[in-house]
Structure 1
Amino acid sequence: MSGDILQEAFNATVSRDYEKAVTVIREVLSSTTNHSFNVEQLELIDHVYSCILNTSHYDESLIDVCWEWIDAIERSPRTVDIRAVSSSQLSIYYAYHTICRVQERMPRKPTYQQLRQETWTRVTHSFSYLWAAATQLWKPHELDRLDILCSWSYLCLQFSDVVTDEVLGVVESAKDTSKELLSNVIVIENGHQANQRLLTVERNIRDSRALAEKWRRSNTDVHPPRPSSETQLRVESSSSTISISPPMPKKWCGSEGRERS
């Protein structure tokens, strides 16, 4: 496939014709099923979808654009290249981050919990692939590899209501391996930055576990529903017929109203 087709989409975004840009991208994605996008083409796709995302103002459209963006990047066959994986993981992270934040604005949606579970399943799939690629492309202490681990740990924190112990264990184990290597090396290039990333991962995992436990406790606790203020007012105004507490025992009185001993 010629890069000129994707260049047309880029030119459309320059002229702010975002409808044309995304139409071109969709046509390219549907017509080139066996093409593996190179780094430059992936960057063009990123540019188009980020522009579309910045002009979307409704929650549902934001989520739709993010899913389309992720699907475009993860379309098979994929290029396993240092620049491609490093660039793609940032875009994929940002798309999931946006989906998470938008979903959090509609917790009363009937399918909210199901959507969170399904999204987390996709997160796990995406970052399992990225982490497998990272272990092939970089050494345990290299920053690009640790950046993927950081992104994954941040998503664990953001999806703490549905995160699994299995994924937390994988991220923590990878962090421990890199940390042990760094502690045994006297001098290493970018050692300080690598340690900072590992501290970030460690903090995110700790906070994710704490929040996940909090979510589990809140889901198992049974709290009786509190009456609304309107219901409370209605009950109080009609206390002669409805009582929200057991009636007080009354003393039996004689015919003259005096208490009988």
Structure 2
Amino acid sequence: MKVVVIGGTGLIGTRLGERLRAAGHEVIAAAPSTGVDTVAGTGVKEALTGADVVVDVSNSPSFAPADVLAFFSRSTANLLAAEAEAGVRHHVALSIVGADRVSDSGYLAAKVAQEELIRDGGVPYTIVRATQFFEFLVGIADAGTVDGVAHLTSAPFQPVAADDVADTLATIVSGEPANATLDLAGPDRRPLVDLVRTVLEVRGDTREVVSDDTARYFGALLGPESVVPTGEARIGTVRLADWLTTSGG
């Protein structure tokens, strides 16, 4: 089976490509650096020729609300049009748990717009909404740091390992389109401030971490169920403690 991974050179795309190749699939890692620009449309038709499945794990280079909306809207529209022409049988997209519950985040609103395009696009699809990745917890701390102090919300998070995301996507690629949205989360649910404090301690990062429920996340104030699954969800196997041990944080 030929699988085109949009964003195939990134954190998730690289891991997914390894798994799919190991399973015997032909994999095209599509990204601007490999000659495929889904926003401009450059190289898309050529990459999708003969493709069975397209997996979109791309991300906007800018998180400014207008930029991210333009990125996901144009990229997704171009992809879906090319997929229909090429006869692609399954469009798989990675989105974010709670995207439709956090209306004051421009980034998450853009992901909702992307999902709507996919549902209305005419190509059989599966949308996987994942929680935040372990790999980005330090970046969240950095974004919330003011004068050497990290201010983070106590809202619950249930982060997931990038390897669990890649494993889940690989399984979905090998199956039939669900024409539905699935949630994926890690096994541990804790306040974000506690998760980040744990990661920084393991890394030897001595900055102070304080609980601040006015601290924003992608521009949004979070509540107790904003970015965690509220119903049925797939649960990853990697716990934060194990990930910290094996990755060094």
Normalized against structure 1, the TM-score is what? Answer: 0.27
Larger relative contact order, structure 1 or 2 (CA cutoff 8 Å, min sep 6): 2
More helix by share: 1
More strand by share: 2
Normalized against structure 2, the TM-score is what? Answer: 0.28
Bigger Rg, structure 1 or 2: 1
